[in-house]
Amino acid sequence: MKTINIANGEIKASEISLGCMRIDSLSKSDASTLINTALEEGINFFDHADIYGGGRSEEVFADAIDMNPTVREKLILQSKCGIRKGFFDFSKEHILSSVDGILKRLRTDYLDVLLLHRPDTLMEPEVVAEAFSILHSSGKVRYFGVSNQKPLQIEFLNKYLNHKIIINQLQFSIKHTGIIDSGLNVNMKNDASIDRDDSILEYCRLNNITIQAWSPFQYGFFEGVFLDNDKFPDLNKKINEIAETKGVTNTAIAVAWILRHPAKIQTIAGTTNPNRLKDICKASNVELTRQEWYEIYTAAGNKLP
């Protein structure tokens, strides 16, 4: 498994992370098999959120791995907070209490990374900064990030932070390419030229902010998986063709397409199937050519100007 450097190299993380949103549905035995498969494949980064399974996913993870200090030092743990039932909450009280709950469920003294889960338009950056300072000085959180935020939202927050944003988690897949489409269609009068994200890809690259791609196999907003989907015959034909030449599955090609981008995007794989996870991890050893990358991009229905 190849690694990427996060936080100016202070975090050496696997380029593929295990997303733990759905592990609350697993038995202890099955969860243990999944997590140990991840570790065996070279994954050291695990993505959580306080809302996953209503907190149950974090409990299942800690129980399955028999969390203790020896185990903990081998892991990079990330979790998220800020989403509540019907609203977003970046208040100091909620951030602090959320982290305490996360640490208790994960049975650890600290998080490597805490993300603010989606934007809160009622955010008071001074208040967030105060919460982050308390969490950092107490040793409860080492680094901080966000999810689904635009450049100016990050800039606005960073203005007040002593501990700057190092990660932005964004939806990105072969069939969800908004963060690159507008950059390829500059000065064009077509839908793809509409910059809905304010050049967030380039902004993150300029500011050494690691992008994490969530839902790497989804199209739309949780509308389904594009692989082996009859809705996308040209795309699947091209992916399967390249998969055969590389000796891997179509799953690996879908992830290799993300990893091929020089932005060094970390992929969050949310599977609960150990064998599928092994297939996904093979992407780390697949090198797509520039031509293959663009062939997949256009087979997905995208047109180059």
Per-residue pLDDT band for 156 (boundaries 50, 70, 90) equals very high
User: 52 catalytic, yes or no?
Assistant: yes
Are the CB atoms for 272 and 258 separated by under 8 Å?
A: no
- What does the pLDDT look like over 98-119, one tens digit per residue? 999 999 999 999 999 999 999 9
Which member of 52, 143, 203, 219 is catalytic? 52
Burial class (CB in 10 A: 0-12, 13-18, 19+), 111: buried
- What does the pLDDT look like over 192-210, one tens digit per residue? 999 999 999 999 999 999 9
Are the CB atoms for 268 and 217 separated by under 8 Å?
A: no
Burial class (CB in 10 A: 0-12, 13-18, 19+), 87: exposed
Coil, helix or strand at residue 85 = coil
Are the CB atoms for 279 and 227 separated by under 8 Å?
A: no
Domains and CATH numbers, the chain: 3-231+252-286 (3.20.20.100)
pLDDT exceeds cutoff 90 at 8: no
pLDDT at residue 285 in the model: 98
- What does the pLDDT look like over 68-81, one tens digit per residue? 999 999 999 999 99
pLDDT exceeds cutoff 90 at 135: yes
Pairing of strands 111-116, 76-81: parallel
- For range 142-148, the mean pLDDT: 98
- Sequence-ordered alpha helix ranges (H) in the chain: 28-40, 56-64, 69-72, 92-106, 125-137, 151-158, 178-184, 200-206, 233-246, 250-259, 274-281, 290-299
